[in-house]
Amino acid sequence: EADIYQTPRYLVIGTGKKITLECSQTMGHDKMYWYQQDPGMELHLIHYSYGVNSTEKGDLSSESTVSRIRTEHFPLTLESARPSHTSQYLCASSILAGEETQYFGPGTRLLVL
Amino acid sequence: GENVEQHPSTLSVQEGDSAVIKCTYSDSASNYFPWYKQELGKRPQLIIDIRSNVGEKKDQRIAVTLNKTAKHFSLHITETQPEDSAVYFCAAIGSDMRFGAGTRLTVKP
C-alpha cells in the first residue's frame, strides 16, 4: 500500500548526540518535506526537496541537514541534539507540480534530555 | 513569498452547531487551497480542497468557499459532532506553499 513511513516513531536521546530521522515513501512522489511541530501547534518547515540531489532550506533549517540520494528516501540529521529540539518531526511528500496536496507520515516524537 | 493567516486559533461549539474557520493569503499566484484535520496524536490528513477556478465545494457536512478577489477562503462544518474535535490547518499553494497556524476546534456534547 502506498504510504509514508518514518522511523523511529519515538526517540529519547542525550544532549550532544547525532541523530538521523528516517523517512521513506512509496507514493511515487518527487517532492518531500520535513516539518517540526509541537503537539497541536503550527507546522514549521525545516527542509524540502524537489527530487534527487535537490535540497532546500525552510524556516528552521540552521541546525539540521538533509539528503536526497534516492527518490523515495529523505533522511533528516541533527548533528548535535539539544533539549530545544524536543518536538515532533513530520515528513511529507507531494507530486512535483499541479495539485500539490501533501501527504504526511506518522511522525517521530523526539525527546532530548 | 506566501503568508497565510488563520482565525480563530481556538473555537468551541456545541454539538449540532456550525463551525467556521477563516484564512487569508497574500500571494495572488496561489491557486490551490487544501484543508487538513489533525486529531490528537495523529498525522494531518487532507479533508477537502478547492482550486482557484471554483468558488465553493461541498462534501457532506464540510464545505469550503474561496473569494479570490479578497484573497480569503473558509472552512464550514455543519451539524458538528464530537469526532470533529481536532486541529484544522489551511494552506495556500502557488509558487510557494504555506500553512496557517491552525485552529483547535472543540465540539462539546
Q: What is the pLDDT of residues A16-54, one digit of tens each?
A: 999 999 999 999 999 999 999 998 899 999 999 999 999
pLDDT of residue A63: 86
A56 reaches B (C-beta below 8 A): no
Contacts of B104 in chain A (CB under 8 A): 40
Q: Which of A31, A35, A37 to mutate: most B Cβ within 10 Å?
A: A37
Question: Which residues of chain B are within 8 Å of residue A42 when distances are taken between CB atoms?
Answer: 99, 101-102
Mean pLDDT of B84-99: 91
Can you give the pLDDT at residue A99? 60
Q: Find the mean pLDDT for residues B32-61.
A: 94
Q: What are phi and psi of B63, to 5 degrees?
A: -140, 150
CB < 8 Å to A105, chain B: 43
B45–A41 CB contact, under 8 Å: no
Predicted confidence (pLDDT) at residue B1 exceeds the cutoff of 80: no
Cell of B37: 484535520
Residue A98 has pLDDT above 70, yes or no: no
Rounded distance between C-alpha atoms, residue A91 and residue A4, angstroms? 8
Distance (Å, whole) CA B38 – CA B59: 18
DSSP A28-69: --SEEEEEEE-TTS--EEEEEESSTT--EE-TT-TT-EE--S
Among A94, A106, A28, smallest CA distance to B32 is for A94
| pLDDT score at B100 | 96
CA distance B84 to B70: 28
